[in-house]
Amino acid sequence: MYSLGIIALQGHCSTISLYKDDELVFALSEERLSRIKEDSNFPEFAIKACLDKFNLKMQDIDSISFAWNPWSSLWFYLLKNLKHTTFDFLFGKRINGKRSRVKKFLEMIFIRSYIKKTFGHCPKLSFKDHHTCHSLTSIFHSGFTDPLSLVIDGYGDRATISLYKLNGRHHQLLQETFFPDSLGLFYSMFTQFLGFTSDIDEYKFMGLSSYGEPSLVDKINQVISFDENNFVKLNLTYFTFQKSSNVFYSDKLIELLGDPKTYDFKQRTDLAKSVQVVFSQVILKIIKNIKQKYGQETQSICFSGGVFQNCVLNKDIRDSKIFKNVFFTPLCSDLGTAIGACLSERLSKGLSLKKLSHLYLGSSFSDTEIEKILKFFNLNYTTSENLTKDTAKILEQENIIGWFQGASELGYRALGARSILADPRKQEMKDKVNHKIKKRESFRPFAPATTNEFVHKFFEVSGQELGYMIETVDAKKEMANEIAAVVHVDSSSRVQVVSEQDNKIFYDLLLEFEKQTGVGVLLNTSFNIKDEPIVNSPQDALICFARANLDYLVMGRFIIPANSNNHFISRYQS
């Protein structure tokens, strides 16, 4: 039995997943193939890649589950919640040309016709509640038995916060908060206030917060408050997202905080820090409230929804110890709901469900396919007989490499399949990768990859699962200078602990680098440059290799040096 999950058209990264019986066998975001960052269009390329990989036709798919219920959204925003909305909110064109809200809901309703027109057939299709899909993805990635599940994002079909409880096979909704009271939009509004792009640049705002002081907490508390019955309450006089398609804050916020266009770096960082502190404080109050109401039933809670991409928040939650067992899914953004949609369908039919075990679920290419492409471009390369030893030596010499191995990872984090890697021992390496390679803001941090053998040597950890770069931990003071390029200004690091079972070749590379340098840590960042998706194919990797000024590309068992391929590099740099 084949089940296809889809999330698309909602304004974020369109993604598909494929289940064969109870096993997740494939998942891929459309942006990886279209090369349009955050592509939210109908995922035609991703579906075709999926069908081709398994030699299937659409007629072989038994069911399609879509991770949004547009009927629920139209009812809520056009009827029930009309007092909070305006014509521009509903019908105005969004930032970066995104669909208006009503248009995207209508396009979702007609997705059957898109599928039939493109593939000649549409199997039985069902719309799933968006927050339900978020919740199930998190629960079945955690491995917890009968946990609570908290979903917080900008907004879903109608809700902005949802609390669930899994009891055996019964997924029960316990409590909801409705639009416009939204923690996700609160954070997005301040992201936009500082001149970043809302719905996209929240991670930049978070990174900026580490440089500041929480000097504006009292003022931020005028904008938002905890509500025991509703979880959160926004002071809507400071917001316009409920009225406008693009502008999120009102003139009253400028009166409260001053004109952000006049801010110096310290003012920007202090505002970011203050917002981050209040953001965490409100969410911790919500979790304490949940503990008081439902904590007698379970000591385990899972978190999902875009808000939990905030790894500073996640550290605050773990450190609070409100719940004994916590899990943050790395698939907390909307792309993870493509999996949750399939899980929801299987749960409703009483079918078996398995724990999600890894995220290497996308496109893969054999050495034969890779070498054919290298020869097509007339590239100079060597075939390594000991890839990890040779690569570790290249890294030890302070070269920056593109690393392309196995099936691509699902999500926004590079987990050692489509990565840019570097030696973390010097602070200058962070600046070099930011400026020369990634071409991005200097304040942005990089993540360390390590293994269970070495993580306790460098970082303050207490047994939590750290395989996905979704939480930060503190670097040990005595070791921070040994890995300076991957320790943020506040001494934190967004660690990935690589397991031999999930990614053996990357695990072996870390062991080999430690053997050669004494440091079992590498700087690991996504294999892309600014404003582009992570690479997917060998062709993508070669183009990014040239444009990013990388020193080497290690793809399959082949090592491609930049200095002997100037004919190719110069073509794509121009």
Flag whether pLDDT at 80 surpasses 80.
Answer: no
Do 420 and 558 lie in one domain? The reply is yes
Mean pLDDT to the nearest integer, 428-447: 90
Flag whether pLDDT at 96 surpasses 80.
Answer: no
What local confidence, expressed as pLDDT, does residue 434 receive?
A: 92
| Beta carbons of 353 and 343 less than 8 angstroms apart | yes
Domain extent at residue 568: 367-573
CA 504/CA 10 separation, integer angstroms:
36
> What mean pLDDT, rounded, does the chain reach?
94
Mean pLDDT to the nearest integer, 234-242: 94
Do 236 and 301 lie in one domain? The reply is yes
Domain membership flag for residue 279: yes
Q: What percent of the chain has pLDDT over 90?
A: 86
Could you tell me the pTM of the whole model? 0.95
Flag whether pLDDT at 123 surpasses 80.
Answer: yes
Do 460 and 374 lie in one domain? The reply is yes
pLDDT band at 296 (very low <50, low <70, confident <90, very high): confident
3-state secondary structure 459-506: EECCCCCCCCCCCCEEECCCCHHHHHHHCCCCCEECCEEECCCCCHHH
What CATH number has the domain bearing residue 567?
3.90.870.20
* 533 vs 439, more confident: 533
Flag whether pLDDT at 136 surpasses 90.
Answer: yes
Do 386 and 448 lie in one domain? The reply is yes
Do 340 and 309 lie in one domain? The reply is no
Do 412 and 505 lie in one domain? The reply is yes
Domain membership flag for residue 166: no
Rg of the chain over all Cα atoms, to the nearest angstrom: 23
Return the number of other C-beta atoms located less than 10 Å from residue 229's C-beta. Answer: 8
Do 566 and 428 lie in one domain? The reply is yes
What CATH number has the domain bearing residue 33?
3.30.420.40
Do 195 and 261 lie in one domain? The reply is yes
Domain membership flag for residue 509: yes
**The pair of three-digit structure tokens given for residue 119, joined into one six-digit string:** 């593939």
CA 242/CA 524 separation, integer angstroms:
39
Q: What are phi and psi of 325, to 5 degrees?
A: -120, 120
Do 28 and 76 lie in one domain? The reply is yes
pLDDT band at 484 (very low <50, low <70, confident <90, very high): very high
> Domain tally for the chain?
3
Query: What DSSP string runs through 338-397?
Result: HHHHHHHHHHHTT--------SB-S----HHHHHHHHHHTT---EE-SSHHHHHHHHHHT
What local confidence, expressed as pLDDT, does residue 303 receive?
A: 98
What local confidence, expressed as pLDDT, does residue 95 receive?
A: 63
Do 531 and 515 lie in one domain? The reply is yes
What local confidence, expressed as pLDDT, does residue 319 receive?
A: 95
Flag whether pLDDT at 428 surpasses 70.
Answer: yes
Cα–Cα distances (Å) from 183 to 105, 225, 340, in that order, read 22, 10, 22
What local confidence, expressed as pLDDT, does residue 101 receive?
A: 83
| Beta carbons of 521 and 483 less than 8 angstroms apart | yes
Do 322 and 431 lie in one domain? The reply is no
Flag whether pLDDT at 570 surpasses 80.
Answer: yes
Please list, residue by residue across 93-119, b when 16 or more beta carbons sit within 10 angstroms of its beta carbon and e when fewer do: ebeeebbbbbebbebbbebeebbeeeb
Domain membership flag for residue 355: no
Angle at which helices 387-396 and 504-517 cross, to 10°: 50
Do 187 and 242 lie in one domain? The reply is yes
